[in-house]
Structure 1
Amino acid sequence: MTDLDAPGRPTQRSQAKADRRAALLDAAAGLFADRGYNGVSIEDLGSAVGVSGPAVYRHFASKQAVLAALLVGVSESLLDGGTTVEQDSGDPAGALRALIAFHVDFALGAPDTIRVQDRDLEALPEEDQREVRRLQRRYVELWTRVLGALHPSLAPDELRVRVQATFGLINSTPHSTRVGSSHVADAEVRPVLERMAWAALTSR
């Protein structure tokens, strides 16, 4: 039996494997965010998705490999998604608004991953750290290119500062959307973040 029962169509077995891998990554994001990378064991990861610790090794070679898949994967997704947004937009202003909406979607949908990135990137092997940073630089360059097309008078250094500051603003959501024991609804947070990001990027 192969992994495809028709061209481009996964078998039930391969789909189940992909689903389990995705579930492990989702569980890892939550556990690493709550306890820190060093506070989570392979057994904890397996238990979170209803399998034994050793069964995790069918999907990942090590706990570090789980962390690498999580952080490299999200950096790849941001770059790929941002590239699509840029290509599908008709003008710089529209592209910038679409990039802001895209990144706000990410921040609201993956707050645990943001927390893991902030705290546990150094737990990755150096090669994986370099790959994450390489992908992130390309993502920053994409935003800088779009902003520069909208405001060609701004110097490259200022463009990068504005973009990085905007990421800091949007990526603060794992902390800024929590008020005491309450959580501000995404529907209330989104328009505020989008307005503030636009202002930060385009102010004179």
Structure 2
Amino acid sequence: MTADPTTGTRPRNRRQLIVEAAGRVFSERGYHRASMEEIAAGVGITAAALYRHFPNKYALFAECADVMADGLVAALDEVPPGAPSADLLTAVARITVARRASGGVYRWEARYLDRDDRRRLKAKFARLVGRVEEAVRREFPLPEERLRAVAALGAIGSITMHHTSIAGRRAENLLSDAALRVAATDLAAAPVGARPVESPAQPVPRTRRAEILAAAIPLFARDGFANVTNGQIARAVGLAPSALYRHYPGKVDILSAACLQAAGLLAQGVERNLDEVAEPYEAVVALAATYVAYSFEHTALNSVAEAEVAGLPDDLRRPLVLAQREHIAVWEQQLRLARPELDPRQARVLVHAGFGVVVEAGRQLRWRDSPDHRDAVTALVVGALGL
């Protein structure tokens, strides 16, 4: 009897392997820069073979988003009703860490889903949030339980947005503990040592180049860099599209300038608000308040810098990566002085957890800026850091 030549060479779970590989590529490179050829190579098949499973890149992208959300919902479904918040958050942390490499698909890239797919994904996450919110309300009967639940999930989801090397079990424990502290945070109690901070104001555009940049940022934030045309940017400043090239070589250079502006404003805020702060605990609180103020003050700019940096060519991305590392290093140093038991990797993971809290809490508050909202989100960040 002659054996089928494909037996043993085509894994039964090939579709799953494709989705896993695609999730990694979409998360790392962004939806528009990812190619079917690169995804196929990650599975060890040809692009033609890939198209036998998925008719196009969008169909594969949509399935990646669904798989991540379905995994989180399924993880919570296994936790008995009435279980404590710690059990729910541990379950979420376990699946999020396990699928860390592909988690960026829903954090930023899900905006490229069409309306129906985005609505379906939103419903799945609403179910996830609702389950956590119910446990938080029962266990920690304080105001704003939904905000605290969303922020707790943001702390866990942050692991998908950076590359700090840490063992899976250590990451799970660190993130679930941070999330539990966020869930239990009393938003009415300001962190000890908190003081007013200043956020650098948005620069006033005084040149045509600055006007172009100021017009492009909200367009990139609303529609995504890849979906914005030079014509849209030009019309926003009353120019012909060809006139843009007198100020920027290409659209990607406008994006690079936006990301550099974001990094510069944040660095200015840190420098200004850490001046004359000597005690590590107070320094970390000041860093948290500064990042929160910056995020509320420059919401569109920050979302562009966070979501689109992966789409920059290596030479334009390099200075931004260095600026981010420098910013993280300041947080890490102060947090380890305040919590000497943390090693560098643990500190970096917690710092990113704080950033995740800001993103998700800010979204929940629809970035409506007020002193109360800033104070509440700062308290959540301090809770995530374990101070």
Please, what TM-score do these two structures have when normalized by structure 2? 0.44
Aligned partner (choices 184, 192, 196) of residue 380 of structure 2: 196
Structure 2 CA distance for aligned equivalents of residues 168 and 102 of structure 1: 15
2:180 corresponding residue in structure 1 = none
Q: 1:113 to 1:185 in 2, by over 3 A?
A: closer
RMSD: 2.2
Where do 1:152-171 residues align within 5 Å?
Answer: 152-171=340-359
Aligned partner (choices 262, 269, 294) of residue 106 of structure 1: 294
Report the number of matched residues.
Answer: 184
Structure 2 CA distance for aligned equivalents of residues 74 and 32 of structure 1: 14
Structure 2 CA distance for aligned equivalents of residues 64 and 47 of structure 1: 18
Amino acid at match of 1:194: T
Structure 2 CA distance for aligned equivalents of residues 174 and 46 of structure 1: 30
Structure 2 CA distance for aligned equivalents of residues 122 and 92 of structure 1: 32
Amino acid at match of 1:187: P
Where do 1:1-204 residues align within 5 Å?
Answer: 18-172=206-360, 175-178=363-366, 184-203=368-387
The answer (yes or no) to whether the contact 1:144–1:160 under 8 Å persists in 2 is yes
Structure 1 CA distance for aligned equivalents of residues 376 and 205 of structure 2: 39
SS of the counterpart of 1:171?
helix
Structure 2 CA distance for aligned equivalents of residues 27 and 136 of structure 1: 24
Quick check: which one's helix share is greater?
1
Which runs of no fewer than 5 residues in structure 2 stay unpaired? 1-203
SS of the counterpart of 2:238?
coil
Structure 1 CA distance for aligned equivalents of residues 346 and 307 of structure 2: 27
The answer (yes or no) to whether the contact 2:328–2:348 under 8 Å persists in 1 is yes
Amino acid at match of 2:217: A
Please, what TM-score do these two structures have when normalized by structure 1? 0.79
Which runs of no fewer than 5 residues in structure 1 stay unpaired? 1-15
% of aligned pairs identical?
27
SS of the counterpart of 2:270?
helix
Q: 1:172 to 1:25 in 2, by over 3 A?
A: farther
SS of the counterpart of 1:102?
helix
1:13 corresponding residue in structure 2 = none
| Higher Rg of the two aligned structures | 2
Q: 1:36 to 1:199 in 2, by over 3 A?
A: same
Amino acid at match of 2:384: A
Amino acid at match of 1:188: D
Structure 1 CA distance for aligned equivalents of residues 329 and 221 of structure 2: 28
The answer (yes or no) to whether the contact 1:89–1:95 under 8 Å persists in 2 is yes
The answer (yes or no) to whether the contact 1:111–1:173 under 8 Å persists in 2 is no
More displaced, 90-99 or 78-87? 78-87
